[in-house]
Structure 1
Amino acid sequence: MTRISSLTAWLCASFFLWLAGPANAVDTVRFNVTGRLVTSTCDFSVGDVDRTIALDKINVTAFAGGVQSAGKKDFTLSLINCANATTANFLFSGSPHLVDGQRFANGVSPSVIALWLTDTATGTTIPANGSVLQRTRSVPVTGSTASLGLSAYYWNTSGSVPAPSKLTSRVTITMSYL
């Protein structure tokens, strides 16, 4: 009987070892992940959201002699409450004018007058039909604020004195932060 008990014990032990598989050491590691989703890193200053830039009225004769731009208006877009950002990127988009795609289209149709938008720091055109890189302006965040100076002009696409008209152009800015 001892022999059968030993054989039974050996078979049972072998079966349980077979079920358990090879012996490996197991360690358990636990860690925490936290995060926060926010809608933006900065806020536009009061008045910069859905802002209207009113160019001064000018006489159509300002375009006499082939002059293409007139009525320059400087303005600044300001960001406040910037947290954990070192750079603010302003990406401009809007419909390009049919005759001169670098300028933004006039919503008053038909019109030979378009919007010319430039970066005041460099005088560089922000082209309506440009690449993402050409339409993006990056400015440093200092403290918790950032500012971008811009200039808006009337732009005559005809080369001759235009008829009296209005300029209504919509430009959208998409923000990103680094």
Structure 2
Amino acid sequence: MSAVDLTLDLTIEAGPWDALGDVEGVCARAAEAALVVAGVEGLVALELLLTDDDAMRDINREWRRIDKPTNVLSFPAAPTPGFPGPRPLGDVVLAFETLAREAREEGKTLADHASHLLAHGVLHCLGYDHETDAAAEEMEALETRAMALIGVPDPYAGTPAAGKP
């Protein structure tokens, strides 16, 4: 895709993630596509945790004080000037049951929705957000471009409200 070289540290903690098929391939393609559209180059590293709603609820409660599961959480890495090796981007966590329910409700494949949420999480690790309409539009445009790079339909096509996955 471009001059980005991603080291993906993938941990499957819980959930039937093998339903994605080539789990590592799906995740690597989505993360790399997000990095490409964001203009990231060089060696980068991303930690990815695939888990279930119970674990996600615990993480969400601990870090955001919200006592319910969510589809994706991102934890950007602190800048590490002079750090040897790949530049750490942060951690992204996906919850299987929430992701699967949303995919069914939105008529998307599990792999396509997982790809979109992972790209969304990677963009958060890069500092993008959706707190304002302008920021949401920028982030959504990047997500749509990233998905197009890997052959996933526009994740926002047909959705009434833009902004937050």
TM-score (norm 1): 0.22
Name the one with the larger strand percent.
1
Name the one with the larger helix percent.
2
